[in-house]
Amino acid sequence: MKSPFYTAEHDAFRDVMRRFVEKEIAPFAHEWDEAGEFPRELYRKAAEIGLLGLGFPEEYGGIAADQFMKIVASQELARAGAGGVSASLMSHTIGSPPIARAARAEIKARVLPQVLAGEKISALAITEPGGGSDVANLRTRARRDGDHYVVSGEKTFITSGMRADYLTVAVRTGGEGAGGVSLLLIEGDTPGLSRTKLKKMGWWASDTATLHFDECRVPAENLIGEEGQGFKIIMQNFNSERMGMAASCTAFARVCLDEAVAYAKERKTFGKPLAQHQVIRHKIVDMAQKVAASQAMLEMLAWRLEQGESPVAEICMMKNQATQTMAFCASEAVQIFGGAGFMRGIKAERIYREVKVNAIGGGTEEIMKDLASRQMGL
């Protein structure tokens, strides 16, 4: 699809990403999904093409990137139809921005180059068993003890939780509410940290874990930002996270559309290709319409962010628009495939299993509506 927002530089990066996905991910997506993991070597390969460094400071191995370069990266990754691979491979895009933004200089210099080179894995740990997006009321406690914080509590549904070398963890260092929340960088080999692997509906190739902190001693220098400022730093992550999810979901919807079109042209029923049945043609047009509308909304919001705006309400609505489009297209694609769509191995089936995690992660559909309405003054 032609768009005025992309330059020759974006197109060149798209070509690099497409070759990378076609060679390094797509042929193995089903195998990795069944295995429940992908090779750690993929991080290094992704770093070599500049994928991991997008948007991070150049002094630490990052690469300058605008909103549209990030959209290209997210949407080309989605072409493999492997949401679990994308989620874990890119978990540093939510785990490391707080480090880049607010950690001490020596922490940035030690951690970021390793992550952006694909040598170490970064993850974000906020959600707890008793609450998801209710960050202001989290319970994991970090008490100051000399030159250390002593951390106790649990985090769950943590992407890259089993393999992460660096965990950006939201903890309570003060009283109740948002003002008592801080961020700590906790290293994966910290004594007292244990991990439990979780089994999921989708994203099988992405390791997801519950983290247990049992009196973990963390150097005070690992505090990210000022004590009590964690909530603000976490909130700064959300626009980027939700835009990334919206870009991916729109692309996953397009993958379902493309796969359904190809199958409808090939599969014959009642003496003619599926695509010649009016009901199938109408399904395909409905899918294409929703994908085009979501992509247009996504790109306009990206442009507004590039102009320095912060359209929080519209970004919340964008996330819902994209996840609903993904849900619709995945369902229709599986329906067009019929019995073949119920079999493991095709992209549409895999994407169908991954619909709900996108509608929940980064803020549920209900939370997005409530936040958008508040931003609108309602």
Active-site annotation, residues: 241
Instruction: Name residue 163's amino acid.
Output: R
For residues 95 and 167, what is the distance between their CA atoms, to the nearest angstrom? 7
DSSP type of residue 27: G
CA 54 to chain centre: 14
- 256: which 2 tokens? 């379902």
Name residues whose C-beta falls within 8 Å of residue 36's C-beta, 6 or more positions apart in sequence: 204, 205, 207
- 176: which 2 tokens? 């109740």
**Partners of 352 in the β-ladder:** none
- Residue 172 contacts residue 234 (beta carbons within 8 Å): no
Instruction: Name residue 243's amino acid.
Output: M
270: left (phi over 0), alpha (psi -120 to 50) or beta: left
Closest CA to 245 of 131, 99, 364: 364
- 289: which 2 tokens? 């319409």
- Residue 318 contacts residue 301 (beta carbons within 8 Å): yes
- 282: which 2 tokens? 């109408």
Half-sphere exposure of 158 (CA within 13 A, CB side): 33
* Helix axis angle, 67-78 to 230-266, nearest 10°: 50
For residues 134 and 215, what is the distance between their CA atoms, to the nearest angstrom? 24
- Residue 213 contacts residue 192 (beta carbons within 8 Å): yes
For residues 197 and 43, what is the distance between their CA atoms, to the nearest angstrom? 20
Burial class (CB in 10 A: 0-12, 13-18, 19+), 152: middle
